[in-house]
A and B are shown apart, each in its own frame.
Chain A
Amino acid sequence: GENVEQHPSTLSVQEGDSAVIKCTYSDSASNYFPWYKQELGKRPQLIIDIRSNVGEKKDQRIAVTLNKTAKHFSLHITETQPEDSAVYFCAASKKGNEKLTFGTGTRLTIIP
């Protein structure tokens, strides 16, 4: 089955700087890669997703890149703000079975 690895497990960034979280996946049939943000005690919230037919997607300060050949994808947050502090999860799924396999999460702390 699919295996998703996520790094780093913790990340501290000065406010205003950029943060990058990286994930790798094992199943070449995976074609959908969402990122979720989870604040303490809250539900995971989808912040951005990318499909395998594109290499990059951007939404304001958040961007995701996908390298299908290397089977890795990354989340980039620019101009970080204190409210970006949370745990971020990457995930992968494939057409025909949409269950998500999640990475182990990255605890992002923005230092004011």
Chain B
Amino acid sequence: GAGVSQSPSNKVTEKGKDVELRCDPISGHTALYWYRQSLGQGLEFLIYFQGNSAPDKSGLPSDRFSAERTGGSVSTLTIQRTQQEDSAVYLCASSLGTGASQPQHFGDGTRLSIL
């Protein structure tokens, strides 16, 4: 597709379970970002991948959160031992990532609900 694709669109799981969220960026975009949006709140940065550089993990809220990006394309965000406060919409964005700051384009997000 032409846009950023995220799956699943919705995920409901029990507290303590692990979850994996997937992001497929726009073809040719070298930069990929994960953000979190809690109900009625703004967007909170989690992690940023740029090409082959080490990712900026400064926004990850705890060591239960991790992300990887394989082959410079698809990314997965993993949350281990989920807690109720992890409930949010997880948004992925991508950009060209070259030269001057490039516009970030968002996917539809994964709505995560922890019971």
A residues within 8 Å of B by Cβ? 31-32, 34, 36, 42-46, 49, 51, 89, 91, 93-95, 97-105
Contact = CB atoms under 8 A, between A and B. Distances in A.
Q: Which 5 A-B pairs have the closest CB atoms?
A: A32-B101, A102-B43, A43-B106, A104-B42, A99-B48
A99 B108 contact: no
23 contacts: A32-B101, A36-B106, A43-B91, A43-B106, A44-B106, A45-B106, A46-B103, A49-B103, A51-B100, A51-B101, A91-B43, A95-B101, A98-B31, A98-B48, A98-B95, A98-B104, A99-B48, A100-B35, A100-B45, A100-B104, A102-B35, A102-B44, A104-B41
Contacts, number: 60
Q: Which of A44, A89, A103 has the most CB of B within 10 A?
A: A44
Interface residues of B, number: 25
B33 interface: yes
B72 interface: no
A14 to B, nearest CB: 25
B102 interface: yes
Interface of B: 31, 33, 35, 41-45, 48, 50, 56, 59, 91, 95, 97, 100-109
Contacts of B91: 43-44
A101 B45 contact: yes
A102 B43 CA distance: 6
Contacts of B33: 98-100
A98 B50 contact: yes
A42 B108 contact: yes
Contact of B101 (A42, A43, A93): A93
Nearest to B111: A41
A99 B56 contact: yes
A97 B41 contact: no
A32 to B, nearest CB: 4
